[in-house]
Amino acid sequence: MKKFAIAVPIFGLVICFYACSHSPFTPATNATHDTTNATTHITPPPDTTSTSNVADTSVCFARDILPMLQSSCGISGCHDAASAKKGYVYTSYNTIMAYGIVAYKPNSSATYAYCYSGKMPKSPIPKLDSTQMSLLKRWIANGAHNDSNCAVSCDTSKYTYSNAIAPMMKSYCTSCHSTASAASAGGNIILDTYAAILVQAQNGKLLGDVQHASGFNYMPLGGTKLSDCKITQISKWIAAGAPNN
Ligand code: HEC
């Protein structure tokens, strides 16, 4: 009995030591960014002090970061205000800053580290791709500011499938509506292929949903309504016959 009383706390200590030494924030060398293999959790390398004083104006919170984190992470059952798994809520600047972001230090930021390792977003929500990871990293490295005066490159006279519609779906919709995630997160509606988007364009739901028209589901679900410019692009594309152009 005495032996047991000593063995248990020692065993506990060993477990704790093991667990702590394998936290996602342990610096690792030779880490490469691998989003394809979600089972090997790669830790980003330690942050280095930046030598550049030039602000990176090509990334902007309201335009690039909020919609991305909201649609991939701030969703029902995960990190919206009601679910708030592990305290993380990805629905506004203040909640995003409350946990998991260390300004100027992307690799020390849990939000970045978990996405980098491939642990988050959890399957079937698609992992952030390299463009999205780069945006997140640069935004944090810049100081994780709440920039909202973003230059928006939306032009209602340009509404081709490849330049306007597909990228918009990718930014705001395919976290829930990808071929992989649609069954569990997107009501079985797929929006990551032309053929599947065409179905929703032709049945009127794509436009009705993004317009928040009465009687429709409001999309993006739980997120901010798309800008008028973007809704106009969708509307004009559908009016032109929703071509694969
Ligand atoms: C957070 C996850 C999520 C995001 C992001 C999201 N949706 Fe949805 N969407 C859903 C769910 C869940 C349903 C099923 C709702 C239902 O059937 O009640 C749905 C349904 C739909 C439908 C079918 C609606 C109907 O009336 O049957 C369309 C069309 C749609 N979404 C378009 C979009 C578009 C366009 C975007 C991006 C601008 C978007 N969604 C973003 C979760 C999402």
pLDDT-derived band at 49 (thresholds 50, 70, 90) equals: low
**Summary mean pLDDT of the chain:** 85
Query: Which of these, 234, 212, 213, 237, lies nearest to 224 by C-alpha position?
Result: 212
CA 137 to ligand 1 center in whole angstroms: 28
pLDDT tens readout for residues 128-153: 999 999 999 999 999 999 998 888 77
- Are 9 and 16 in contact by the 8 Å Cβ rule? The answer is no
Q: Is it true that the peptide bond before 167 is cis, omega within 30 degrees of 0? A: no
Is the shortest distance between the CB of 171 and ligand 1 below 6 Å?
no
pLDDT at 28: 35
Cα–Cα distance measured from residue 168 to residue 219, given in angstroms and rounded to the nearest whole number: 12
Is the shortest distance between the CB of 165 and ligand 1 below 6 Å?
no
Is the shortest distance between the CB of 221 and ligand 1 below 6 Å?
yes
Cα–Cα distance measured from residue 77 to residue 6, given in angstroms and rounded to the nearest whole number: 41
Residue 194 has pLDDT above 50, yes or no: yes
CA 192 to ligand 1 center in whole angstroms: 13
pLDDT tens readout for residues 111-132: 999 999 999 999 999 999 999 9
Ligand 1, atom nearest to 234 Cα: 35
